[in-house]
Amino acid sequence: ALAEQGALLALSDLNREGLDDTLAQLPAGARARSYILDVSDREAMFAHAIQVNVDFGTVHLLFNNAGTTLVGTLENQTIEEMQWLVNINLWGVLYGCKAFLPMLLEQGEGCIVNLSSVFGLIGYPTHSAYNITKFGVRGLTESLWSELAGTGVEAICVHPGGINTGFENRSRVAEKVGQRERLMLQLAPGLMQTTPAQCAREILAGIRRGKRRIVTGRHSNLLYWLPRLFPASYPRLIRSLMP
């Protein structure tokens, strides 16, 4: 969507296959460079920011959207499994912000777009570690709203829900699997209904309108309002919707 608007793109992914798939989707004539990057590696992220600055001269839009999930109750997840997820979903976003923020502040203009989730709005069963990371991204971004005031740099928190990217197929399941984990795995495919293209359009539209929070995807508005209308009782409502 950005390439169609003429943007210069610095695209990063953990593996070449993912990068090649993204590059193949770009329209003819798109100007892009690709980089292999593990966002959970602090030194790699800071080196990446330096290289992007060398290649492009600056950055105007930063999308911290690398992420995955871990299906498992807190009882069944190991500390090591949770650390793996936190390193990607939370530390990866923090590293991205820290690595690129100086150049944005120096030029007095830019936008940081951090991908949280609808599970950064509500606590959801079998996703406690994921909730930790996505609530953390939300908290980080909302603190930037105040810290960046008057700098010309904006921060946006995106809460997608049910986007059909194949995300659920790339997630990890706790090694110790119980009934609740199996139930969630059965439910997941039916929840992924919104296309990536639609999600991208809504995110870019929100950026243009100057929105600080963008909620997009299947049932996302419902999950946005549930904890606001029923802050103490919404978990019971969620349980009642599960078979």
Convert the pLDDT of each residue in 103-116 to its tens digit: 999 999 999 999 99
What would the mean pLDDT of 169-179 be, rounded to a whole number?
75
Residue 142 pLDDT exceeds 60: yes
What would the mean pLDDT of 55-71 be, rounded to a whole number?
95
119 falls in which pLDDT band (50, 70, 90)? Answer: very high
String of DSSP letters for 28-86: TT-EEEEEE--TT-HHHHHHHHHHHHHHHS--SEEEE-----EEB-TTT--HHHHHHHH
- 3-class SS of residue 14: coil
CB 219 within 8 A of CB 159: no
Range scoring the smallest mean pLDDT among 74-78, 95-99, 138-142: 74-78
Across the chain, the runs of DSSP E, i.e. the strands, are: 8-13, 31-36, 61-64, 70-71, 110-115, 153-161, 172-173, 213-217
| Confidence (pTM) | 0.91
Residue 87 pLDDT exceeds 90: yes
Residue 216 pLDDT exceeds 70: yes
Whole-number Cα distances in Å, 19 to 14, 15, 40, 71, 156: 8, 7, 17, 26, 25
| Among candidate residues 103, 92, 204, the one with its CA nearest the CA of residue 153 | 103
Q: Which member of 35, 95, 124, 130 is catalytic?
A: 130
Query: Is residue 95 annotated as a catalytic residue, yes or no?
Result: no
Give the span between the Cα atoms of 50 and 61, in whole angstroms: 15
| Other beta carbons within 10 Å of 203 | 21
What would the mean pLDDT of 143-160 be, rounded to a whole number?
98
Residue 189 pLDDT exceeds 60: no
What would the mean pLDDT of 168-179 be, rounded to a whole number?
74
Most confident of 195-199, 209-213, 217-221: 209-213
